[in-house]
Amino acid sequence: MSQLPDRTLSRVRQSVFDLQSARESAGQAARALQDKQATAVVYCEANFGKIDGKTANGLVRHSELYRVLSVIDSTLVGSDTGVVLDGVPNGIPIHKDLADAIEKAEQVPQWYIFGMAPASGRLSTHERALVLEAIERGLNIVNGLHEFLNDDEEFANASARMNVRILDIRRPNTERTLHTFSGRIHEITCPRIAVLGTDCAIGKRTTATVLAAALTERGLDVVMIGTGQTGLMQGARYGIARDAVPSQFCAGELEAEIIDAFEREQPDVIIVEGQGALSHPAYSTSSFILRGSCPDAVILQHAPARKHRCDFPMMPMPKPVDEIKLIQTFSDTRVIGLTINHESMSDSEVDMSIERYEEELGIPVTDALKRPAEQLAAMVFTAFPELESANFDPATPAIAT
């Protein structure tokens, strides 16, 4: 890659600074944009509703930063994204390409979001051309991949010429400002609950989001800590993409975000989004989340119908009981509940799994999307009864599902 011209390099640096605020972190950038919900189209070709489309799936279900106008996936043209994901229409259509999305939109979207999470973490040659097309059409870019488009001469020149911004969500703090673990996490007085899983792309972020909303509905002040690019895109006010941080600083960076959230917000409870799986040899993020957050409790997400690890057909899925034992051995914490990812399962199969795991594990089990959110909140109130007694309002209506 050739060296950037001085003018372009200066603009790129200024753009990164403006978007990522003084700390140059993706988490801070999300906070800075939170009160400006912008319109967006999300690219998710041939992957919407699938595992590698988890970023698009998450943004369609929930986003505080962006109002998603449409999703691009030529294999599902004409479908409603809500029907594809959850069987319930949400009015967000699926179009075949960007030209079609712009033509049929109520307005030209402000942002083009790359909504897939490929294992390579990089754009293909074809996808590079699509992102450049979006820039040429005047759309700002949200990039959650491991390659930083602001550092790419072709993208930097194109964005400078079209006067659009590129937001590289995964760009971490500079090493000058990175934190090592201090132990101050133990000064936090409110419960910290991590949502972990038995595999990657299994619904940890979705369950954490539903849980945070359910506890908020019950009158609690809740802060959710984002630990991946999708959570930050959705608008998590605190957090950082864990897999973009040097390992020496992973625990400390998470600890620093949690302390900052606690000191600023004085919440009743902090929810920490999980990544990967502690037992998965391909990921170390769960271990750093446990080390950095030192959670008082864990809620574990599991997909009973999944036969093998995502992208690893040679690795069978672990049993929840084994993952629980591993988590509770690795960290001074307790697993207070299990949540079901109902992929490839009928309602009756979900019911049977809930009954089976409750009997086997002796903890409450629910499905965050198919069962009342009250059941998810009840896991927390059972484990921390002081939260319910301090904040429960009998007039609070039942939480909608």
Cβ atoms of residues 37 and 8 within 8 Å: no
- φ, ψ dihedrals at 106, nearest 5°: -70, -20
Complete edge-to-edge strand list for the sheet that includes strand 192-197: 238-239, 222-226, 269-273, 192-197, 297-302, 335-340, 365-366
**Per-residue confidence (pLDDT) for residue 107, from 0 to 100:** 79
Sign of the dihedral defined by the CA atoms of residues 362, 205, 370, 397, in that order: positive
Element containing residue 20 per DSSP (H, E): helix 6-20
If you search the block for the tokens 């800075």, which residue do you land on? 32
Query: Looking at residue 176, what is its pLDDT?
Result: 61
Total length of the chain: 401
Q: Which of 144, 169, 146, 151 is nearest to 30 (CA)?
A: 169
Strand residue runs (E) in 64-197: 66-72, 94-95, 111-114, 140-143, 166-168, 192-197
d(CA 139, CA 159): 9
DSSP, collapsed to helix, strand or coil, labels residue 314 as strand
Q: What is the pLDDT along the chain (401 residues), one digit of tens a residue?
A: 334 444 433 433 333 333 333 333 444 444 444 445 799 999 999 999 998 899 999 999 999 899 999 999 999 999 999 999 999 999 999 999 999 999 999 778 999 999 998 777 899 999 999 999 999 999 999 999 989 999 999 999 999 999 999 999 988 766 568 899 999 999 999 999 999 999 999 999 999 999 999 999 999 999 999 998 888 898 889 998 888 888 999 999 999 999 999 999 999 999 999 999 999 999 999 999 999 999 999 999 999 999 999 989 999 999 999 999 999 999 999 999 999 999 999 999 999 999 999 999 999 999 999 999 999 999 999 999 999 866 655 444 433 33
For residue 26, the model assigns a pLDDT of 43
Per domain, the residue ranges of the chain are 6-173, 177-391
Distance of CA 49 to the CA centre of its chain: 15
Contact between residue 188 and residue 259 where contact means Cβ atoms under 8 Å apart: yes
Are 378 and 215 a contacting pair, CB within 8 Å? no
- What's domain 177-391's architecture? 3-Layer(aba) Sandwich (3.40)
Fold match between 6-173 and 177-391? yes
pLDDT recorded at residue 120: 78
Could you tell me which CATH class the domain 6-173 is placed in?
A: alpha beta
Contact criterion met (CB below 8 Å) for 239 and 231: yes
For residues 20 and 29, the answer to whether their CB atoms sit within 8 Å is: yes
What pLDDT does residue 301 have?
98
